[in-house]
Amino acid sequence: MPSTPNTLPAGFTPALPALILLTTIFFANFLARTIFGPLLLPISQTMGQGLANSAKIYVFLFSGYSVSVLCTGFVSQYLGHKNTIVLSVSLIGLALLGLSWTHSFPALLAWVICIGVGAGLYMPSGVVTITETLSSAYWGRAFAVHELGPNLSFILAPFIVELFLSTIGYSLLFRVIALCCLGLAGVYYHFGPTTKRPGVPPMLGNIRAIISKPAFWIMATLFVLAVGIEIGVYNLVPAFLTSERGVSREDANIILGCSRLLALFCLPATGWVIDRIGYRQTLYLCLAGTAITTSLAGIGPLWWTIAMLGLQPVFVVCFFPVGFAVLSLVCPQNTSDLSVSLTITCSSVLGAGLLPFSMAWAGERIGLSLCFILLGVFILSVSALAIKNLHIPQNS
């Protein structure tokens, strides 16, 4: 029998166990998707696909993810946010089990869509659980802790993939992650916090209340840019290092994992930075730093590229705590989960799906180095203009 619903505390310390559990689930959610970056070249070779065609994995993965995120309000309205999170991590586990026995590329893409659908159910309910568990004064700090989940996955995924590739293959890797996801589903079902507010379905009236606000579109644009760097560029780094910098696949994956280490240590300081310089200046700092380091990664010798790839994540990962906090402020409070759904739908389709596919296609023609340079210039220009016109309530 499941335990009775937990009482949701308002302070940061009492809410920490629930926050750690959510962060662990977020880690598993992201790990199920980030492994496809280090696996892109091995899958290409095993399935006999070119780089651009293999990059369709990201389009299918984040198409399923985006549709799921957009429709998750219907699920959470009926099941509640706690059970939606349980369903999310369970579907990821079952889809990974199916993927582990797949040997054709079309079947692989079908299971990848299922992984995306399962993963997409989590984020809106996870954000609502955090905002209802803690008072708004702690949101920046809480989201900084929550973001440790994906950033740990970015660090560990290349090393985990190399461990399995060098021993027993990636099929068993899928099964191990699947069993971990199913185990986490059981833990959260028994011990996860229960929120009072039901999910908000994407009905026309609810959507209109959000999209009528210019601030929402500005934040959606910023999320597209940040996700494009965090996920889209991350997935192409091994291919970039092997094809244009002469690095072996094994060394490329090690570099990829190590490039995220500095960001992991800097992320907890995001809440402190927000308190000191405010939301707007933190957004400027994160996106400008991200854009500049992305461009510089495409210039110079290998050691310089590695240095920029290590510095870039420091800026991009620190965007998300302030980004989600600002998004919660600029949108109607009773529709926070739907605003997250709409934002993630845009950023997943454009930033995490189409961007890496487009860069892989362009990279085969003009080189990934030039793609990195142009992307950084574009992000710097667009983000500066967007943040200048952003109105933030309770702005500090």
Q: Looking at residue 47, which CATH number applies to its domain?
A: 1.20.1250.20
Q: Report if residue 108 sits inside a domain.
A: yes
Q: Which amino acid is present at 354?
A: L
Q: Answer yes or no: is 363 within a domain.
A: yes
Q: Two tokens at 96?
A: 């990974």
pLDDT at 274: 81
pLDDT of amino acid 123:
84
What's the domain range around 225?
12-388
pTM for this prediction? 0.74
**Would you say residue 358 lies in a domain?**
yes
Which residues, 6+ apart, have CB-to-CB distance to 257 below 8 Å?
A: 154, 155, 156, 157, 158, 159
Residues shown for the chain: 396
What is the per-residue pLDDT for 11? 65
Q: What amino acid is encoded at 281 in this protein? A: Q
Amino acid at 11: G
Let me know if residue 393 belongs to a domain.
no
Looking at the domain assignment, is residue 278 inside a domain?
A: yes
For residue 52, is it within any domain? Answer: yes
Residue 7 lies in a domain: no
- Assess contact for 199 and 327: CB atoms under 8 A: no
What is the C-alpha separation between 22 and 129, in angstroms, rounded? Answer: 9
Question: Is residue 3 included in any domain, yes or no?
Answer: no
pLDDT recorded at residue 71: 84
pLDDT number for residue 3:
40
Q: How many domains does the chain divide into?
A: 1
- Residue 394: the pLDDT is 61
| pLDDT averages per 10-residue partition of the chain, 396 residues | 43 78 94 88 80 81 86 85 94 94 89 94 87 76 83 88 84 93 94 78 77 88 90 83 87 87 80 83 92 92 92 89 84 73 83 81 86 92 91 65
Question: Can you say how many angstroms the Cα of residue 331 is from the centroid of all Cα atoms in its chain?
Answer: 21
